[in-house]
Amino acid sequence: MSTTDTTAPADYDPFEEFNAAMGAGTVQNPYPDFIPLREESPVSAIDIREQFGIEVEEGDGIVYTVNTFDAVQQVLRDNETYSSAGYEEIMGMVFGHSILEMDEPEHHTYRSLIQQAFSRNAMIEWERDLIGPVVQDLISGFEGDGEADLVRQLTFPFPFNVIAEMLALPTDDHPRFHRLATELISVSIDMQRALDASAALYEYFCGIIGQRREDPARDLVSVLTQAELDGVTLTDDEICAFLRLLLSAGAETTYRSSSNLLFALLTHPEQLDALRDDRSLMPQAIEEGLRWEPPLLTIMRSPIRDVELHGVEIPAGASIVVNMGSANHDHERWANAEEFDIFREQKPHVAFASGVHMCLGMHLARMETTVVMNAVLDRLPNLRLDPSADVYITGMTFRAPPALPVLFG
């Protein structure tokens, strides 16, 4: 990958482009709207033509939303009835044929091969040799300033930098890699730019894959080139598809979940102080942050046959919106579900989905968040929000604060 990048204007800032696409400047809190949906029915049929004024080329414009925790679990755990193949039409154009859109038995084989790269020993090495140093280096860049935007200067760049290190990319390639990765996951605002980024990453990754097949090392790409299960191995295209998906599923969601947790703690300073004083609270703080503000509110499924779900008839091929954000705020499961409370009774949530498609990188995401949170608490004393800043979380599908201006010291 050349370090000279002539494909973007000199003033092009992928962070600002991405930020704008995700609704920066517009405060959106969808959770109150989910309450009447849950109270009315676990499953709702919504006419998007009437509700949103959207024209549809095919079908009747009806989508089905799954609103309660139990109903969401039922859909996500029944992979024989509810298919993920619908992601192929749009996301397949950007990522290639990836685990995101696979159903069984293909999904099981592919996931088993990919999972070989996420061994316990690899996780220990990544935490010690990659994640810790990346986070510490970023904090060193602003520690002496007494102020920072924790999103732009820490939570947004660190997961991308970690992935670059996991892939053992040359340091000189990191800036362009980060830009292309950001453009790739900005598919909702500029499809052509996302497709161009996808093609550039494919060309680059395939070159690396060829090198690692010939001379494998200890990096993630090398492990994927050598992965084998009952005689089945991963093709170059399959590895490229996973690597591109990793930038979205791995980097984007980690940046969002860590940003959301920091927002929650900074707006609940008594809980921030408690966590600083007692790090044994870290696991439950992370889980509460994921429950309260998951990085991704909804995912899609489609029934492979006509089905009845909680009394609602859903035809084969219909679009089902699985509302994990609503499920995580289900008052039947959590008391005062709208409140952020790291001391509440811990119960499993669905921020990482459920069933066979449960997030492959969830343990890595939790570990990355633990590292970044401990580093922030250790190195930024008297951490607090800048009182002059307007700070909020935004987004209807992907959620995160556009900025976290803080003071410390």
C-alpha–C-alpha distance, residues 218 and 210, integer Å: 15
Q: What is the mean pLDDT of residues 323-344?
A: 97
Flag the least confident range among 156-160, 188-192, 243-247, 383-387: 188-192
Per-residue pLDDT reduced to its tens digit, 75-116 = 999 999 999 999 888 788 899 999 999 999 999 999 999 999
The pLDDT confidence band at residue 205, using thresholds 50, 70 and 90, is: very high
Q: What is the mean pLDDT of residues 285-306?
A: 96
CA quadruple 191, 156, 115, 200: dihedral sign: positive
DSSP letter at 321 equals: E
**Count of beta carbons in the 10 Å neighbourhood of residue 347:** 10
| Widest Cα–Cα separation across the chain | 61
The pLDDT confidence band at residue 6, using thresholds 50, 70 and 90, is: very low
Q: What integer pLDDT is reported at residue 89 of this predicted model? A: 83
The pLDDT confidence band at residue 185, using thresholds 50, 70 and 90, is: confident
Q: What integer pLDDT is reported at residue 219 of this predicted model? A: 92
Cβ-contact 242, 99 below 8 angstroms: yes
Q: What is the mean pLDDT of residues 302-320?
A: 96
User: Alpha carbon of 152 to those of 232, 240, 272, 313: distances in Å?
Assistant: 41, 28, 21, 45
Q: What integer pLDDT is reported at residue 183 of this predicted model? A: 85
**pLDDT at residue 1 tops 50:** no
Per-residue pLDDT reduced to its tens digit, 229-239 = 999 999 999 99
Flag the least confident range among 42-51, 118-127, 262-271: 42-51
Where is pLDDT greater, at 176 or 69?
69
Where is pLDDT greater, at 92 or 369?
369
Q: What is the mean pLDDT of residues 213-239?
A: 94
C-alpha–C-alpha distance, residues 219 and 241, integer Å: 17
The pLDDT confidence band at residue 12, using thresholds 50, 70 and 90, is: low
The mean predicted confidence, pLDDT, of the chain is 90
- How much of the chain exceeds pLDDT 70, in percent? 90
Beta strands, E only, 34-116 = 43-47, 62-66, 82-83
C-alpha–C-alpha distance, residues 249 and 251, integer Å: 6
Domain 46-407 has CATH 1.10.630.10: yes
String of DSSP letters for 140-196: HTTGGGSEEEHIIIIITHHHHHHHHHHTT--GGGHHHHHHHHHHHTTTTT-HHHHHH
Q: What is the 3-state secondary structure (H, E, C) of 205-260?
A: HHHHHHHHHHCCCCCHHHHHHHCEECCEECCHHHHHHHHHHHHHHHHHHHHHHHHH
- In the Cβ-directed half-sphere of 332, how many Cα atoms lie within 13 Å? 12
284 CB-near residues (< 8 Å, 6+ apart): 342, 343, 346
C-alpha–C-alpha distance, residues 281 and 278, integer Å: 6
- Would you state the structure tokens that stand for residue 295, as one six-digit string? 């990085």
Question: Which residue, chain included where needed, has tokens 């093609």?
Answer: 199
58 CB-near residues (< 8 Å, 6+ apart): none
**pLDDT at residue 14 tops 70:** no
Cβ-contact 113, 229 below 8 angstroms: yes
Q: What integer pLDDT is reported at residue 59 of this predicted model? A: 59
Cβ-contact 288, 344 below 8 angstroms: yes
C-alpha–C-alpha distance, residues 165 and 184, integer Å: 19
**pLDDT at residue 54 tops 80:** no
Nearest alpha carbon to residue 348 among 330, 361, 321: 330
Q: What integer pLDDT is reported at residue 3 of this predicted model? A: 38
Q: What is the mean pLDDT of residues 123-150?
A: 96
- Would you state the structure tokens that stand for residue 127, as one six-digit string? 């935490």
The pLDDT confidence band at residue 28, using thresholds 50, 70 and 90, is: confident
Per-residue pLDDT reduced to its tens digit, 337-364 = 999 999 999 999 999 999 999 999 899 9
Q: What integer pLDDT is reported at residue 356 of this predicted model? A: 94
**pLDDT at residue 285 tops 90:** yes
**Count of beta carbons in the 10 Å neighbourhood of residue 321:** 19
Q: Report the predicted TM-score, pTM, of the whole model to 2 decimal places.
A: 0.91
DSSP letter at 407 equals: E
- How much of the chain exceeds pLDDT 90, in percent? 73
Q: What is the mean pLDDT of residues 200-225?
A: 93
